[in-house]
Structure 1
Amino acid sequence: MSPMMLLAVYGAALVVSSVAGGALTQRVAMTHTRAQLAMSLVSGLMLGIAFFHLLPHAVLTLGIHHGLTTVMSWTMGGLIVMLLLLRILHFHQPDYPAEAIAVCEHGHDHGHKHGAAETGVPAAREVTSVMAPGVSWRGVLIGLTFHTFIDGVALGAALLSAPHGHQQQLLGFGVFLAILLHKPLDAMSIVALMKASGTTASSQTRANLLFAFVCPLGALLFYFYAMGLGGSGELVIASALAFSAGAFVCIALSDLLPEVQFHSHDRVKLTAVFLLGIALAFMMANTAAKHSHAIASLSPV
């Protein structure tokens, strides 16, 4: 499949998953444990994609002797930019608003370390009030829009970074999978906050639809921009991969670290799915490397 066809298929799938996530929030309360399991899995996958896919391809694109400093500089830039966006707009939270989330599947405190026993506030509700005081759905929408646009740039760069073939498709698929699993959670956050703020269902639907198209738009814009640069596009593609890797690391840890710090329940399950996400990314990278070595061994000397 050509990169353009892959971009069309991936873009359509991302729109559907994002819209479905937001629509689900309008009808079903997302339970705390399920949300944390999903975030742990996606955090592991995003970290794995950053370290096993994006960074190695960025270095290979520029060459290790001349490009390593450039790649690491752009990686740090992506991490800092995403951190500043999180600081300013508070758009990533480890829980959904209290009005839109079931306290827990079993209706009791699972050992959250927020003083729930002292205040009598249910665990999931207190996490929200402690972690995200005064969060506005508009700030969350703006912040997640920036975040998902960067995801789109990462997808576009991944589809352009390697020679056409199996290795490129696995790189693009890895980035796509991380985004695909993350977008419904982002859409859920937006719609849940809008719902808790008393906005109309039609406003929630409009915001959900607009948000769903941002990532494919980012991928499309970057794809055509880089293609138009010709030979000088390699530096831009490698820089975008490295910047995206830094952003992925920041987002993954922003989901993961609050869970590690504040929650003591379901440690085994949450750790297992986190490691599963990393393992998936590693297996895809290992498969691509083996395929590349097999092709190299068949090539004439």
Structure 2
Amino acid sequence: MSTLLWILVGGLLMSAVALVGSLTLVLPKSILDRIVLPMVSLAAGTLLGGAFFHLMPEGFAALGPVHGAVWILAGFTSFLGLEQFLHWHHCHRAAIECRKPMTYLILIGDAVHNFLGGLSIAGAFLIDPRVGITAWFAAVAHEIPQELGDFGVLVHGGWNRKQALRWNFLSGLAFPVGALLAYLISLQFDVVPLLLFGAGNFIYIGASDLVPEIKAHDTLSKALIHFACFAAGVLLLALPALVF
């Protein structure tokens, strides 16, 4: 399969993940409460594992540690700026427990997030399809709990189910748009910086956005479950890099 086809298929499938949010209307709140934070823990581990064991080694090999660090910091800072200036934050818990930002602001923030994600993941595919697949799965692990939370907030904010699904899906289309732009950029420029930019995104989301949420627990058993899921996410991405 050609690199462009990998990028387009991966981008469209990532957009379809937005439809996962409709599960908030089907699953009982008690089940959502039990599964969302373990999923967030797994996502945090896969994002950090993907950044440290796949994206960064490939990028450093091509650009060196100094220039590579510049692009990682650029990716990290871009998501910090996104949250600061749009006042947007992932919402991984049930809607009633989350802060209630304006619904349109959530969609704008998600669209920008998806666009940057598309640039980063496509950059990984352009370097090596195997790295792209790894980065894509790490991103999906993060997107599923995010979409569950976002969809719940949209419905809680007054949107009906069809409206929430439609607009959440449309915001997800920013991902393949960003991915296609990365491909077009690759025709004229080196895309290795996009790989490290994506690593910075992964590190910010995993360490700054997700880890603080999984630290919120009221029992030792939950703490152990969250830690085990986090460690499993790291190992899931580390083992292929260490073994192969």
TM-score when normalising by structure 1:
0.73
Work out the CA distance in 2 between the residues paired with 1:272 and 1:75: 27
Determine if the alignment matches structure 1 residue 197 to structure 2 residue 157: yes
Asked if structure 2 preserves the Cα contact closer than 8 Å seen for 1:154 and 1:244, the reply is yes
The equivalent residue for 2:10 is 10
- Worse-superposed segment, 40-49 or 134-143: 134-143
Q: 1:1-301 residue pairs with structure 2 within 5 A?
A: 1-19=1-19, 21-29=20-28, 31-62=32-63, 64=64, 68-88=65-85, 89-98=87-96, 125=97, 128=98, 132=99, 134-161=100-127, 168-227=128-187, 229=188, 233-234=189-190, 237-253=191-207, 254-260=209-215, 262-265=216-219, 266-287=222-243, 290=244
Residues 149-206 of structure 1, C-alpha deviations (whole Å, 9 max, x = no match): 1111111100112xxxxxx232111111012222232322222111111122332122
TM-score when normalising by structure 2:
0.89
Aligned-partner residue type, residue 22 of structure 1: G
Structure 2 segments unaligned to the other structure (5+ residues): none
Work out the CA distance in 2 between the residues paired with 1:206 and 1:160: 30
Aligned-partner residue type, residue 150 of structure 2: I
Query: After the TM superposition, which parts of structure 1 deviate over 4 Å for at least 4 consecutive aligned residues?
Result: none
Residues 229-284 of structure 1, C-alpha deviations (whole Å, 9 max, x = no match): 0xxx22xx122111111111111121112321x32331111111101111111122
Work out the CA distance in 2 between the residues paired with 1:221 and 1:277: 29
State the identity %: 24
Residues 64-84 of structure 1, C-alpha deviations (whole Å, 9 max, x = no match): 3xxx22210111121122112
Asked if structure 2 preserves the Cα contact closer than 8 Å seen for 1:26 and 1:191, the reply is no
Deviation at 1:50, TM superposition (A): 0.8
Deviation at 1:11, TM superposition (A): 2.5
Aligned residues: 238
Residues 4-42 of structure 1, C-alpha deviations (whole Å, 9 max, x = no match): 2222332232233222x1222243345222100100001
Larger radius of gyration: 1
Deviation at 1:286, TM superposition (A): 2.5
Work out the CA distance in 2 between the residues paired with 1:26 and 1:85: 29
Work out the CA distance in 2 between the residues paired with 1:96 and 1:86: 20
Deviation at 1:94, TM superposition (A): 4.3
Structure 1 segments unaligned to the other structure (5+ residues): 99-124, 162-167, 291-301
Work out the CA distance in 2 between the residues paired with 1:152 and 1:39: 21
Work out the CA distance in 1 between the residues paired with 2:108 and 2:241: 33
Question: Residues 252 and 218 of structure 1: is their aligned pair in 2 closer, same or farther, counting only changes over 3 Å?
Answer: same
Work out the CA distance in 2 between the residues paired with 1:155 and 1:207: 22
Deviation at 1:136, TM superposition (A): 1.9
What is the root-mean-square deviation of aligned Cα atoms in Å? 1.8
Asked if structure 1 preserves the Cα contact closer than 8 Å seen for 2:11 and 2:176, the reply is yes
